[in-house]
């Protein structure tokens, strides 16, 4: 499936052509690149994606910055070998991840049953000034997507200042449960340079969302936040965690219809991961996906994306599959927790050094080496059960043991994306 209507529209946009020429010129020095490979790669990226136009830019996949932004170019330049930028991009030989998410606080007003951020720890959190320094370092490295997350990031004093401190070399996304978003705050965030907001909504059924989030007003607050974000002109995403038991067509499409009514730009579906409060859940069969659940979900995604009745639908299940890019933990994506520990991903409780003590680039390069390229399927799903059995009193797992786990779980296949230069 190709979004022919939007591809045609892009074809009539002079700025799109300017960017295409810029990219072509940049890749031309690479022996692995030629115009046919370039077209093949573009078609691969566009395949099965609904394209959304926002503020004159085009969101193809939320896992990369929008086409037409400076951040898109930042991403292309973040390669290990500057003489082979095309090959390096395809094989994920990177000098920085595409996205780095910053857990600016662990504090939260909710106690969601699945919360990945919930780990026992009594260290001191980084301050907004610490985060500003980190932002400078990761922008210098060439991180193109900066995510502000938590805990509940709107509980951290100074978060708007932090957003303001990020230059447009990177795209900024904020993840929130929506509780504290007001019309005024949404406006201020937009003015500060925020591009996108991901608001959690785990079901179109109020009682289900509230029960999952253990709060009677969580649903109402999320709905209001979506309205404010839309009004402020932010790229508005609903982030949702759908349990295995809930994966039936009627339920999923009722949810998509509600999201369409709310006029959001995108719905991003996360699969439940054994992390945080779910690390030792004994309801495995009802909650966690198997291969069949993932294919079912990907089928719904593709079906919905063919119709313009629904917002753009994105799933980790598809993006991380062999058919697309694989799991980006520690490669295309990385995470820094509230205490400054560098981690491969929000959901993998392993640490590779602390950014208060060491340069981010140095730590990231070491972590990237240990992770050994994109994997097929979610890395957290492969390793977290093993980590949970270690019976740690505190998370994340230390660097030495994290490296051993990585060594024992190397790359498990080649993605279709990687085959583009094969
Ligand atoms: C950790 S939260 C932080 C932002 C904010 N507090 C919220 O809930 O939206 C970021 C996202 O991760 C999701 N999430 C948390 N724990 C998860 C888990 N174990 N598996 C999958 N997604 C999870 C949340 O539902 C939310 O969409
Ligand atoms: S998922 Fe988000 S809202 Fe829920 S407890 Fe965790 S940090 Fe808070």
What digits encode the pLDDT tens for the residues 279-311?
Answer: 887 777 799 999 999 999 999 999 999 999 999
What average pLDDT does the chain have?
Answer: 96
Q: What does the pLDDT read at residue 26?
A: 96
**306-345 confidence digits (pLDDT tens):** 999 999 999 999 999 999 999 999 999 999 999 999 999 9
Task: Provide mean pLDDT across the span 165-174.
Answer: 97
Q: Which ligand is nearest to the CA of 277?
A: 1
Does residue 260 register a pLDDT over 80? Answer: yes
**Cα 272 from chain centroid?**
14
Does residue 121 register a pLDDT over 90? Answer: no
Cα 7 to ligand 1 centroid, rounded to whole Å:
32
- Taking CB atoms within 8 Å and a gap of at least 24, the contacts of 406-414 are 406/350, 406/370, 406/371, 406/372, 407/370, 409/375, 409/379, 409/382, 409/383, 410/372, 411/372, 411/373, 411/374, 411/375, 412/375, 412/376, 412/377, 412/382, 413/322, 413/326, 413/375, 413/376, 414/322
Does residue 382 register a pLDDT over 80? Answer: yes
**Percent of the chain residues topping a pLDDT of 70:** 100
Residue with tokens 């024992």: 408
Q: What is the pTM of this model?
A: 0.97
Tell how strand 52-54 and strand 235-241 pair up: unpaired
Is residue 279 helix, strand or coil? coil
Measured by CA distance, the residue closest to atom 1 of ligand 2 is: 115
pLDDT band for position 67 (cuts 50, 70, 90): very high
Task: Provide mean pLDDT across the span 249-262.
Answer: 98
DSSP alpha helices (H): ranges in 35-92? 35-46, 70-77, 85-90
Q: What does the pLDDT read at residue 339?
A: 96
Pocket-forming residues, ligand 1, beta carbon under 6 Å: 108, 114-117, 149-150, 152, 175-177, 200, 239, 241, 270, 272-273, 275-276, 278
Q: What does the pLDDT read at residue 393?
A: 83
Does residue 123 register a pLDDT over 90? Answer: no
Q: What does the pLDDT read at residue 5?
A: 94
Q: Is the peptide bond before 396 cis (omega within 30 degrees of 0)?
A: yes
Cα 187 to ligand 1 centroid, rounded to whole Å:
24
Does residue 353 register a pLDDT over 80? Answer: yes
pLDDT band for position 47 (cuts 50, 70, 90): very high
Edge-to-edge strand ranges of the sheet holding 342-343: 312-315, 266-270, 235-241, 196-200, 171-176, 145-150, 99-105, 333-336, 342-343
Cα 267 to ligand 1 centroid, rounded to whole Å:
14
pLDDT band for position 394 (cuts 50, 70, 90): confident
């Amino acid at each position: 499936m190709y979004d022919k209507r939007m591809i045609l529209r892009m074809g009539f946009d002079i700025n799109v052509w300017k960017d295409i020429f810029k990219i072509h010129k940049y890749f031309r020095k690479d022996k692995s690149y030629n115009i046919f490979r370039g077209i093949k790669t573009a078609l691969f990226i566009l395949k099965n994606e609904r394209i959304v136009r926002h503020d004159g830019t085009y969101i193809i996949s939320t896992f990369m910055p929008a086409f037409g932004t400076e951040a898109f170019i930042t991403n292309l330049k973040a390669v290990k070998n500057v003489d082979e930028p095309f090959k390096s991009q395809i094989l994920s030989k990177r000098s920085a991840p595409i996205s780095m998410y910053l857990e600016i606080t662990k504090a939260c007003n909710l106690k969601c049953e699945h919360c990945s951020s919930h780990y026992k720890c009594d260290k001191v959190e980084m301050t907004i000034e610490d985060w500003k320094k980190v932002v400078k370092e990761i922008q210098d490295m060439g991180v193109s997507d900066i995510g502000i997350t938590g805990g509940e990031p709107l509980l951290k004093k100074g978060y708007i200042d932090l957003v303001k401190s990020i230059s447009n070399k990177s795209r900024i996304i904020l993840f929130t449960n929506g509780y504290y978003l007001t019309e005024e705050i949404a406006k201020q965030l937009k003015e500060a340079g925020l591009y996108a907001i991901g608001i959690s909504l785990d079901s179109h059924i109020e009682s289900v969302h509230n029960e999952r989030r253990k709060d009677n007003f969580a649903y109402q607050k999320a709905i209001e936040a979506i309205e404010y974000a839309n009004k402020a002109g932010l790229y508005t995403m609903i982030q949702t965690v759908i349990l295995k038991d809930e994966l039936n067509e009627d339920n999923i499409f009722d949810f998509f219809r509600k999201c369409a009514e709310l006029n959001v730009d995108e719905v991003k579906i996360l699969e439940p991961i054994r992390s945080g409060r779910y690390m030792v859940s004994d309801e495995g069969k009802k909650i966690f996906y198997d291969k069949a659940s993932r294919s079912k979900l990907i089928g719904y995604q593709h079906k919905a994306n063919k119709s313009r009745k629904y917002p753009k639908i994105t799933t980790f299940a598809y993006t991380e599959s062999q058919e697309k890019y694989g799991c980006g933990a520690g490669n295309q994506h990385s995470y820094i927790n509230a205490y400054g520990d560098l981690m491969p991903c929000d959901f993998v409780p392993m640490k590779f050094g602390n950014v208060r003590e060491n340069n981010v680039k140095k730590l990231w390069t070491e972590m990237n080496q240990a992770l050994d390229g994109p994997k097929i399927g979610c890395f957290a799903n492969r390793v977290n059960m093993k980590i949970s059995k270690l019976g740690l009193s505190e998370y994340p797992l230390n660097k030495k043991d994290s490296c051993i786990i990585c060594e024992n779980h190397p790359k498990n296949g080649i993605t279709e994306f990687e085959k583009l230069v094969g």
